[in-house]
Every structure is written in C-alpha cells, then in structure tokens.
Amino acid sequence: MKPILTAFRFLTILPLPSREMVTERELGRAVGFYPLVGLVLGGVLALTAWAASLLFPPSLVAALTLTAWVAFSAALHVDGFLDACDGLFGGNAPEMRLAIMRDERIGAFAFTGGALLFLGKYAALTALLQSPTSSAFGLVSLFQPWLLLAPAPILGRFAMSLAIVHFPYAREQGLGRAMKDHARMQELALAAGLALFAVAGLLAWAGVGLWLATVLFTWLLGRWTLRRLPGLTGDIYGALCELTELLVLILLIGFG
C-alpha cells in the first residue's frame, strides 16, 4: 500500500495519514500507480459535474468541474506547465532554459500558455457536457456524459509515468531525479496496464485508441523537448500531463 499512498500524497491534496518519511525508492515505485490517481480524480470530476448539473447550466458546470480538477492536485501540474512554457520558449541555450524553469515568476509565454490551456479545457468540457454520449463509448454510453471526464486524468498521469521511465532526466538533483532513478520498467508496465484497463473498460475500443494516442503524443513531445533540453524535468512532466488531458478531451469530442 505504501507506493499507492505515496502516489496520492504526491499528486493530490487528499489528507492521507503518514507516519514515516517517504523514501526515494517509494517515490519511484509510486510512478506505477499514477493512473490510479487519475481514475480517482476522474470519479471526483464525474461526481462534481453530475451534482453541479442539477442546479446550473453546462457552461457553469464546466467552470466548476475545471476548478475541482485544478484543486485536486493543488495546481501542481499547472505550475509545471507554466514554468515549462517560459523555459522551453524563453531561453537561448539549454542551461538558460533550465534556469528559467526554476524561476518562480511567470513571463509572457507562461501567461499566454496558461490562458490558452484553460480556455481549451473549458471549451472542451462545455462541449462534452452538452453532447450525448456515443454508442461506441462502451460503459460510458450507459450514462450521461459525466464519465467521459475520467479518461483524461487517467491518461494524463500515465503520460507522466511513461515519460519518467523512458526519457532521461535533465538535472543531477531534485524530486524528479529521485523518481527517475527508482522507477523501473515494472512501474511503467503497471502504469500502462492500469491505464489501458481503465480507459478500455470505460470507452471500449475508443479507449484503446486514446491510450495509443497518449503513447505517441508522449514520445513526440519528449523527443521535441530533448532538442531544447538535455533531459526532462518535473516541470515537463506536469506540462505533459496537462497537454495530454487537453488532447484526450479534444479527441473525445471528435470520436463523439
């Protein structure tokens, strides 16, 4: 249970009890359970959207759901996305880009990227919550579209697991370094299996397609990042999670 609890403590605001310090090995083993955190978040989002829809129109439901989405992880991945925007687009050399990502202040690239990210997620959520579910969506087709919110957080966190294990890390020290050094192929296999089982169970073959799209997108973004940096960082992991979630929402609208 310790790797599971570690994953939830690290990625969420849930007040889980902890009697011992988390070791670097447990941080690495927790990587395999990141999609499980996404599944729980998906349930929270579905419940939030359903409850809000009893009182409010779809546009406000989308706003409340997006607020719950960010709050669940204490804006951890959003912060990484903003830092990654400034670093990847604002520096002239790898060392400068890494230094920019450590700066707590946000620049024009972070502001613009964050605005576009939230605009895209809000528009996608509004569209999903107003459209009927497709009969091709397996289990989800038995319900109103709230469960369509679950695949995005699942696959967003699977993308992080994949990037942590597959790509090199840019810094010599840090929390991401500890995860990278102790996450093995076993953790990646577990994360891949959990993510595939969850999204295929929810969306049937459409879920398999989204899983494959996530693998391809993670590989492409990782390769592009390596042209700008000597490796990935914790900020890049957060950015990858956010962008994968947006991609999955967009593809769900297209599948529908």
Tell me the three-class secondary structure of the chain, residue by residue.
CHHHHHHHHHHCCCCCCCCCCCCHHHHHHHHHHHHHHHHHHHHHHHHHHHHHHCCCCHHHHHHHHHHHHHHHCCCHHHHHHHHHHHHHHHCCCHHHHHHHHHCCCCCHHHHHHHHHHHHHHHHHHHHHHHCCCCHHHHHHHHCCHHHHHCHHHHHHHHHHHHHHHHCCECCCCCHHHHHHHHCCHHHHHHHHHHHHHHHHHHHCHHHHHHHHHHHHHHHHHHHHHCCCCCCECHHHHHHHHHHHHHHHHHHHHHHC
What pLDDT, on the 0 to 100 scale, is given for residue 142?
45
Tokens 């990847």 sit at which residue?
A: 88
**Phi, psi (5° rounding) for residue 232?**
-90, 165
Count of CB atoms within 10 A of residue 188's CB? 19
CA distances in angstroms from 136 to 128, 140, 187, 202, listed in the order given? 15, 9, 31, 10
Closest CA to 203 of 130, 152, 127, 129: 152
- pLDDT per residue as tens digits for the range 33-71: 999 999 999 999 999 998 998 899 989 999 999 999 999
Mean of pLDDT values over 115-129: 94
Residue 161 token pair: 């697991």
C-alpha to C-alpha distance for 36 and 192, rounded to whole angstroms: 11
- pLDDT per residue as tens digits for the range 168-181: 999 887 777 888 88
Q: Where are the domains of the chain?
A: 31-255
Closest CA to 152 of 118, 192, 199: 199
Mean of pLDDT values over 234-238: 94
What pLDDT, on the 0 to 100 scale, is given for residue 206?
87
Tokens 């996450």 sit at which residue?
A: 183
The answer, yes or no, to whether residue 144 has pLDDT greater than 60, is: no
Considering the entire predicted model, what is its pTM? 0.93
What pLDDT, on the 0 to 100 scale, is given for residue 256?
64
- Looking at residue 73, its amino acid is S
